[in-house]
Amino acid sequence: MDLRSPYPYWLLRHGIINSYPSLQQHHKTDIVIMGAGISGALVAWELTLAGHMVTVIDRRHAGMGSTAASTALLQYEIDTPLSQLSRLVGETNAIKSYLLCRDAIYDFQKICLSLKDDTLFNLKPSLQYASFETHLTKLEKEFELRRKAGIKVQWLDRIALASKFGLAKAGGILSADGAEADAYKITHRLLSRCIDRGAVVFDNTEVLGIHHLKNGVQLETSTGFKINARKLVIACGYESQQYVPKQVQRLHSTFAIVSEPFELKDFWYKNALIWETRKPYLYLRTTHDKRILIGGKDSATANADQRDRMLPRKARELEQSFEELFPDIKLKTDFKWAGTFGSTKDGLPYIGSIPERPHTFFALGYGGNGITFSVIAARMIRKMLEGTRDSDMEIFSFNR
């Protein structure tokens, strides 16, 4: 699957940070992880910390799939509003999902701090504004639901939005809990640390077949060699659907631009993450090198050729939307790219196992919360492997 257009900002900025060999002999390990993007790297990190012998494989170079195109806004807000999610999965599970995502932001912060690179992660507040006057009532209800759930939020009226952000909007929710990250760079830092703890990483090693044995799994690879493992974790993002017997994802295309660097470093209140109530929503963040990233203008198509042909037009639309919001900030696009992303029926990830694939666990994050979902998945999968029960697992199970 072609997951992105050729020139995402993070890949051009950092290049190939690390490379790893392809599999050139039969291999045996305790746990094999399919996918060397941010999800696979987080699972590997959690498992190596727990003392497991881990092997990570990827059909591409590590981090070169969706991770390289990730805009990496970390939010506790799931793409499905809390009020809507409560109707879909029940209020208790909906609130718990939001709180788990909030906690995952700070768990991810601890991981990044241990990597000792202050360019990887920054805590930021997050603003969700009402795109139209007609959205105000629903957003006010959403504010009350989050506040009652114990989430630290503040309501900003028209005057406050103009004062803090320079936005001419009727109202919005300012959340204290959010962050921005460099998912591509973090992936390579995590894999490097995992190797230091005894993990093995193979690039350019595609899995052609999976055989479920009595006491484990055997993978047939594109290099002609086999991997035998006690357990398998499938964390290859939107390409994982082929290993699940029922449809769990809907694929779409999304678009992003990054500006040239500015001389100023403060654009609006604390350079907060910004997104809106309209669907599909526009979102904004800043970068460590004083750029502005704008994403959105999603399309229902998952066809890579159509997606990439739309990119020039979508980039112009993103520029126009930014100019409407911030007419005094003169933005010039430096990079633009497109990517494929998936959504689910309720906006939640799928984490866990299915009867059809014994000795196998899935870490499938979706939508705008892919990274926080992956942090949650890594912890839950470690517990599953160790036979520890987690009451929250049912929220993200395949049979929900």
DSSP letters spanning 56-120: EE-SSSTTTTHHHH---EEESS-SS-HHHHHHHH-HHHHHHHHHHHHHHHHHHHHHHHHTT-TTS
Say what the pLDDT of residue 144 is: 98
Residue 314 and residue 295: Cα distance in Å, rounded? 10
> Among 85, 112, 116, which residue's Cα sits nearest to residue 100?
85
172 and 255 assigned to the same domain: yes
225 and 319 assigned to the same domain: no
Domain boundary among 302, 320, 343: 343
Residue 29 and residue 23: Cα distance in Å, rounded? 13
265 and 337 assigned to the same domain: yes
241 and 355 assigned to the same domain: yes
Q: What is the pLDDT of residues 227-286, one digit of tens each?
A: 999 999 999 988 899 999 999 999 999 999 999 999 988 999 999 999 999 999 999 999
206 and 351 assigned to the same domain: yes
CB 83 within 8 A of CB 145: yes
The domain of 211 spans: 9-69+184-248+347-396
- Give the CATH number of the domain where residue 378 resides: 3.50.50.60
Q: What is the pLDDT of residues 116-130, one digit of tens each?
A: 999 999 999 999 999
Asked whether residue 2 carries a pLDDT value surpassing 70, the answer given is no
Residue 115 lies in a domain: no
As given in the structure block, the two tokens for residue 74 are 């970390």
Residue 36 and residue 60: Cα distance in Å, rounded? 8
319 and 206 assigned to the same domain: no
- Give the CATH number of the domain where residue 339 resides: 3.30.9.10
> How far lies 284's CA from each of 7, 280, 294, in Å?
19, 13, 5
Please count the structural domains in the chain.
2
218 and 351 assigned to the same domain: yes
CB 304 within 8 A of CB 6: no
Residue 307 lies in a domain: yes
Asked whether residue 310 carries a pLDDT value surpassing 70, the answer given is yes
Instruction: Provide the residue type at 88 as one letter.
Output: L
Asked whether residue 327 carries a pLDDT value surpassing 80, the answer given is yes
61 and 133 assigned to the same domain: no
224 and 367 assigned to the same domain: yes
Q: What is the pLDDT of residues 170-199, one digit of tens each?
A: 999 999 999 999 999 999 999 999 999 999
326 and 302 assigned to the same domain: yes
255 and 241 assigned to the same domain: no
DSSP H helical ranges for 224-369:
304-325
Say what the pLDDT of residue 294 is: 98
Residue 78 lies in a domain: no
Residues 6 or more apart in contact with residue 38 via CB below 8 angstroms: 63, 67, 70, 183, 184, 186, 187, 370, 371, 374
